Every structure is written in structure tokens, then in C-alpha cells.
A and B are shown apart, each in its own frame.
Chain A
């Protein structure tokens, strides 16, 4: 049994090698989470295709799961059947996808997970993860908050959708770093804004009623941060209040330019897409790739914002 498996693996490898050698190109299949549901994912796809077209040695098969985990699993199976050289996957569900990733592993096809990671049980079967470090982003936001408030003040936090890894990790990074770096800054309350600007605006309005003295607001992304800013402006209390977000959106960038918004974390879907493709190419080239490949998501503030392009989303 074991021998057949090895044989199978070897022959798969040989076919892949043969194909690669004859045409001198690699075939990479990608199955994305839900293109079109937000600007980030739309831009990611465009950037991925552009990066692949710029490289004559790469041929890509671009698929989208439309947010449906069952469809993503069958897309993984299709890609395995087509014997692509590598698969890039943006998991719709990090847990449910583990068996599909294991199938690819057993078929000898390296899998690169992009943007949001697969569940821990699947880590043994992937070649690498490529994406943003959300805990680090939370840490950056905490550092900016501490800076902006000179270590003293009272803040509120508006988080993303409860239960989403990105929301949990950003909050965790922020809470831990703030407590450690800035014991003088207290968090009055933490409530979700569901990644929704209107919802965040409502949450902030209630905070403004409840607390007479709010010095700063941390929001899990700029979309919610701008919702909170809207609420504070409407209440006439935005003056002197520090707003810090993450995933710099165009609206956040503009508000920063007007001096209403203090800072954010710059996360480019273009960098995200390029990093995923590069990681897959490095894996195929046999390079020693670390399991967790984070691309850089730097702090962006009013001071350094002109080093960055205005986000397209």
C-alpha cells in the first residue's frame, strides 16, 4: 500500500516535472473566497491576474468559491484532477477545508494558503501561508494609540464581526499591547461594528451617550472607524478625539488627509496577491520557505501618509 502511494506520488511528480520542463511554465490554480463581495477581494483578484500575466513562465487557473465552502472543496478537487503544479487557496472556512488540502497533499501538489489561514489541523498539509499578520496589526494600532494620547486617556473599541479570525486577532493584538505599553490608557468598552459602517456609527452614538469623556477610538477597520468618526462629528465631539483603524480604506485615507483621522494600518490587496503568487513560485522552485509568510503591513499616519498611494477601495 505504502509503496503504491509512493509510486503514485513519484509518477505525479514526474508528470508535473515533465510538463514544467517541456513548456518551461508552471501551472498554478487559485480558488478564492468571494470575489466581488468587497473591494479588497476584487482588487486582489485583479492584482493576482496582472502579476501572473507579467511572468511569462506562469500559467494560472483562477477560480472563485463565491463564499461557498462546498464549491471551494470541489474546485480543489478539480485542480487536483487537472494536476496543476501548485494550488493557492483563500479559505472560505479554515476548518472545513482541511480534508481537501490533505487530498492535495496526498496527490503531491503543494498548497499555499493566502490571506486568512487554515485551521491548525491543516497546517501539516500546506506548503506555506501567505498573508497579513493581524495580531501584529492590532499591536501597531495600540502603539499608535499610545503615541497619539501620550500614554494617558480613555478609549473605546469597535471590533469586526464577532467570531471572525481577523476580528479576534486584531482585538487580541491591540488589547495585549495596549495593556503592556500604555497602562495609563483605559478601555471603557468594546462592542462589535460587524465590519459595517452604519452599524459602527450606531455603536459609537451609544458610546457617546454613555461616556462624557472619550479620548480615542480604535476600530477593527477604517470603514468602521469612519462610521465612528461620522457619529462623533454629528455629536460635535470629534475635536481632539483620536481615531485609529486598520486596513486603510480610501475613506480613511481621505479623512486622514483632512486631519480628522489619526492613523491606520496599510494593507494592500496588491501586495497580498503578489506575495501569494511569489510564495507559490518559491515553493515550486524548491526554496526554503517559512511556514508563515507575512507580508509587510506598515503603520500609516497623517505624518507619513504621502509615502503611500491612496487605497483603491
Chain B
């Protein structure tokens, strides 16, 4: 591993395509707006990014395992509506575990279909995207749900509170990132995920249960969604039925921006965190500069292209492809 990296060559800095792009971008924005690098803004963007961020951690693991998860957006709607609705009915101390279990069941359906039945993950999770949205609407009858006593509930700690002076969403995001970083980089399960995503056939011959590993990645993804739902529900103190609509694409964009290969087998949790932050700072920075919203879409696209290009270039050791 180390040897191939050294062989790839190129200046050391270019090997971190995403990091370079991130730093360049941060410098450019702080030159254009004096508020951009203020501590307040930094914390505020960090806190905003936590919902997408926590979901992106799970999806990163799914993608490293060689699959996709497009159902996380609807799953977020499901989990948020459930936890907010149950909050007033059975209290937060029961609502949270019930919601987590229900969300894990959805993850298990994804995992069983893709892991054990070996169905295509794009098709399965795209189907789940609309199936879960339907489930939400059946559950809620289309009504918005709201927490009535917003001031009095301890549930507010997750979205609005702070732990030792740091906003809880940030603590949850970084805590989970650290946990998954350790799992993916230095535990057997992490190595199995890389193996299954990198070369499924070889992994089976090495005695890895591919089905079980894939199944578990979807459980992790669902668990991450349930954590994001706790943050979202607590931050907003209510939920629309389609609150997570479109989040799956933002999550995927952050994962790709972090350099995780959609082919599976490569990528890392820490780089996804960078990808998430970068997307959040783009949205924030452009509004701070007073740019119209559609600039976000263009700039996001351009930055993804540049980051992916720098990443590919770093791997092959030159900017342009040697085979023209």
C-alpha cells in the first residue's frame, strides 16, 4: 500500500487533492468576505453541516463496500417524522429507541435485498426511496408533526444544546466520525468492507462473508440516518413529510467530493468529513458574498469536478491522462 503510494509520485501536496481544493477555496472566500472566517460563522456552518455529515458517514461505508444508498433522504423523513410524532405520544426516552429500531429495520431490508439476494443496490435503494416516502405519508396521513412543548423538553439538547461549550450536533458528527474512522482504518470489519468493495470475488475466496458485510454496511447507514433524524427533529422541533427529500444527493455529493470511489474499495471517513464541510462552506460563503442561490449549484459542480480531477491526477502522478 505504502509502496504504491510512493510509486505514484507527484508532489506530496497534490496527493491530497480534496485538501488542496478545500484550502484554496477557504482562502478565496475569506478574502471576499470578512465574516467568513469568524468563529461564530465557523461554528454555525459546522453545526449546519452535521445532519448531512452524519448521513454521509454511513453512506461512505456503503460506497466503500461497493454499493450505493439513495434511500437515505426518505429514510431521514421517516425517522424524523417518527421521532417527532412519538415524542409527544410516548415521551422522548421511548421515542428515540423506537425510532432507531424502526429505521434499522428499513436498513435491514436494504441490506437483505442487496447483501443476501445480491440485487443491484441502485435499483433497490431507488425503489426504497419512493417506498419509504409512501410509508411516511401513510403513517402521518400527510399532516406535519410538531412538538408542542418546545421549551420544556430535554429533547432540545440534540439540535439546540451544547456539550462543554460545543454545539451537540458538532459533537455527534465528530464523535461518530471518529468512531467510524477507527472501525474502518484499524478494525477487521473495516478491512473486510474495503476487501468486499475492492474485489468481491477475491474477498469471498479469502473467507469473508460478503453478504454479511454488505448487510452490516446498510445497518450502519440506517443507524447514521437515525442519528441525523434526532439532530434534525430537535433542531426544527417539527417535521414535514418530505423533509429529507433531495438530501440523498447532497450526501452523495459530499462523499464523492471526499474522493470515495463509486466503484468501491477506496475512500475514507476523514475525507468525507472534509467533503461535507466543503459543501456547507460553499453554500454559506456564497450567501455571505450576496451571490444568488443558483451560483451555489454551479460552484458546487465546478468544485466537485476540480476535486475529483486533482484526486485522479494525484493517483496517476500527472495532471493529464498519459493515454490520450
Question: Which residue numbers of A lie inside 8 Å of B, CB to CB?
Answer: 35-39, 41-42, 162, 189, 191-192, 195-198, 201-203, 205-207, 209-210, 223, 226-227, 230, 234, 249-251, 312-313
Q: How far is the CA of A196 from the CA of B239 in the complex (A)?
A: 9
Which residues of chain B in 268-310 are interfacial with respect to chain A, using CB atoms and an 8 Å cutoff? Answer: 283-284, 287-288, 290, 293-294
Q: Are B142 and A36 in contact (CB under 8 A)?
A: yes
Q: How far apart sit A196 and B237, CA to CA, in the bound complex (Å)?
A: 13
- Interface residues on chain B, number (Cβ under 8 Å): 32
The residue from B40, B44, B143, B288 contacting A39, defined by CB atoms under 8 A apart:
B143
A210 and B287 in contact (CB under 8 A), knowing A192-B293, A197-B240?
yes
Q: Is the CB of A209 within 8 A of B41?
A: yes
For B318, the chain A residues whose CB sits under 8 A away are none
Closest to B290 in A: A189
Also in contact, A209 and B237, with CB within 8 A (given A198-B232, A313-B144): no
**B171 surroundings in chain A (CB, below 8 A):** none
Looking at the assembled complex, report how far the CB atom of A164 sits from the nearest CB atom of chain B, in whole angstroms.
13
Distance from B151 Cβ to chain A, minimum over Cβ atoms (Å) = 10
- B142 to chain A: which residues have CB within 8 Å? 35-39, 41-42
When C-beta atoms are compared, the residue in chain B nearest to A223 turns out to be: B240
A-B contact count (CB 8 A): 83
User: Quick check: is B71 within 8 A (CB to CB) of the other chain?
Assistant: no
Candidates A36, A202, A227; contact of B48 at CB < 8 Å? A202
How many Å from the CB of B240 to the closest CB on chain A? 7
With A201-B235, A210-B288 known as contacts, the answer to whether A249 contacts B144 (CB < 8 A) is yes
Shortest distance from the beta carbon of A131 to any chain B beta carbon, whole Å: 19
B160 within 8 A of A: yes
Residues of A within 8 A of B138 (CB): 36
* Nearest neighbor of B246 in chain A, beta-carbon distance: A194
- Residues in A with CB closer than 8 Å to B44 are 205-206, 209
A39-B144, A207-B287, A313-B143 known; A197-B160 Cβ under 8 A = no
Task: State whether B144 touches A162 (Cβ < 8 A).
Answer: no
Residue on A with the closest CB to B287?
A206
Q: Is B141 close to A, CB under 8 A? A: yes
Closest 7 CB pairs of A and B: A42-B142, A36-B142, A36-B137, A206-B287, A209-B41, A39-B143, A202-B48
Closest-by-CB residue of A relative to B245 is A196
Chain A interface, >50% SS class? helix
Identify the closest chain B residue to A234 (Cβ). Answer: B160
> B287 and A189: CB pair below 8 A?
yes
CB neighbours of B144 from chain A (8 A): 38-39, 223, 249-251, 313
Q: Give the Cβ gap from A250 to chain B, nearest Cβ, in Å.
A: 7
A226: which B residues are within 8 A, CB to CB?
Answer: 238
Contacts of A162 in B (CB 8 A): 293-294
Which residues of the partner chain A approach B294 to less than 8 Å between Cβ atoms? 162
Indicate whether B95 reaches chain A with its CB closer than 8 angstroms: no
Tell me the residues in window 52-101 of chain B with beta carbons closer than 8 Å to chain A beta carbons.
none
Query: Taking A38-B144, A42-B141, A191-B287 as contacts, is the C-beta distance between A205 and B35 under 8 angstroms?
Result: no
B26 to A: closest C-beta gap in Å: 16
Assess whether A198 is in contact with B235, with CB atoms less than 8 Å apart: yes
The answer to whether B238 and A197 touch across the interface, beta carbons within 8 angstroms, is yes
21 A–B pairs (Cβ distance < 8 Å), ordered by A: A35-B142, A36-B137, A37-B242, A42-B143, A162-B294, A189-B290, A192-B293, A195-B240, A197-B236, A198-B232, A202-B283, A205-B44, A206-B283, A206-B284, A206-B287, A209-B41, A210-B33, A210-B288, A210-B290, A226-B238, A230-B235
CB-CB < 8 A to A202: which residues of B? 48, 283
* A42 CA to B35 CA, complexed, in Å: 43
Q: Are A37 and B137 in contact (CB under 8 A)?
A: yes
**Hey, which chain B residues are within 8 Å of A206, CB to CB?**
44, 283-284, 287-288
Shortest CB distance B251–A (Å): 14
**A234→B168 CA distance, assembly (Å):** 14
Q: State which of A36, A210, A312 has its C-beta within 8 Å of the C-beta of B35.
A: A210
Note all chain B residues with C-beta closer than 8 A to A207.
287
In Å, the complex CA distance between A203 and B138 comes to 31
The answer to whether residues A203 and B287 also contact, given A191-B293, A210-B35 and a CB cut-off of 8 A, is yes
Q: Is B106 in the interface zone, CB < 8 Å from A?
A: no
Find the residue from B143, B160, B241, B284 having the highest chain A CB count within 10 A.
B143
B238 partner, pick from A38, A41, A205, A251, beta carbons under 8 A:
A251
Least CB distance from B143 to A in Å reads 5
What residues of chain B lie closer than 8 Å to A42, measured between beta carbons?
141-143
Q: How far is the CA of A207 from the CA of B290 in the complex (A)?
A: 10
Q: A39-B143, A198-B236, A227-B236 are known contacts. Are A209 and B241 too (CB-CB below 8 A)? A: no
- Contact among A192, A203, A251 for B146, CB-based, below 8 A: A251
Task: Take A206-B288, A209-B35, A209-B44 as given contacts and tell me if A38 and B240 are in contact as well, using a CB distance cutoff of 8 Å.
Answer: yes
Chain A nearest Cβ from B194, distance in angstroms? 34
Contact B236 A36 (CB under 8 A): no
The answer, among B51, B284, B290, for a CB contact under 8 Å with A198, is B51
- The docked-state distance in angstroms from the alpha carbon of A101 to that of B143 is 30
**Chain B residues near A192 (CB-CB < 8 A):** 293
A201 neighbours in B (Cβ, 8 Å): 235-236
